[in-house]
Amino acid sequence: MACVLLGVLYGRWRASEDIGFDFVSHHAGTELWAGDLLPALDGWLLRGLSWDSALGDIIRRFVLEQHQLVLFQKGRLDAAWLHCSENRYFKDQDYEPDFRTSRHRSAVGILTDLRLLSVDRAERLHITADGRTVLRRILEADG
C-alpha cells in the first residue's frame, strides 16, 4: 500500500509547478518533505529494477537517516528503535507511535475565525476573498 501511495504522489507532484508546492520547496529548509523524496523515486522507472534496489535507498535515506537525525536533534539517544553496525541494521526496540490528535480541525477553526477560510454545509473548505488577499501578499513577499 505504501508503494502504491508513493507512486500516486510521484505521478501527481514530481514535475509539479503548483504554487503551493513551490512555496513549500522554498520554506522547508532542512526538514523532510515530499520534494526530497519524489526525485529519489525516479529510479523506479528503470526496467529490471529489483524491490531491494527500489526500496533500499529510500529506506536508508528517508527512514534510517531521518531516524538518526531526529535522535540527535532531540538529544534522545535512548529512544532509538534501531541502530547500524558494520553496514547492517538492528532493531533495538519496537516502535509504537503515540496517538496525537490532528491539529487540522483546530487550524481550520482559527483560519475560519480570521475569515480566511469558510466551511460549507458539506464541510468543504473554501478560501475567502480575504484569504486570497493574504495568500497573494505572502506569495508576493516571498517572490
84-135 pLDDT tens trace = 788 788 888 877 766 667 788 888 899 999 999 999 999 899 999 999 998 8
Residue 80 confidence (pLDDT): 79
Domain that holds residue 87: 2-91
What distance in Å separates the CA atoms of residue 112 and residue 118, rounded to the nearest whole number?
A: 6
Tell me how many domains the chain contains: 2
Give the three cell numbers for residue 93. 526496540
Size of the chain, expressed as the number of residues it contains: 143
pTM of full prediction above 0.75: no
b/e 88-97 (16+ beta carbons within 10 angstroms → b): eeeeeeeeee
Q: Is residue 32 part of a domain?
A: yes
For residues 111 and 84, membership in a common domain is answered with no
Q: Is residue 99 part of a domain?
A: no
For residues 69 and 118, membership in a common domain is answered with no
Q: Is residue 57 part of a domain?
A: yes
For residues 36 and 81, membership in a common domain is answered with yes
Q: Where are the beta strands (DSSP E) in the chain?
A: 82-85, 88-91, 117-119, 125-127
Model confidence at 22, pLDDT cuts 50, 70, 90, reads: confident
Q: Is residue 125 part of a domain?
A: yes
Q: Is residue 136 part of a domain?
A: yes
For residues 115 and 87, membership in a common domain is answered with no
Query: For the segment 65-87, what is each residue's pLDDT rounded down to a tens digit?
Result: 887 887 778 787 777 778 778 87
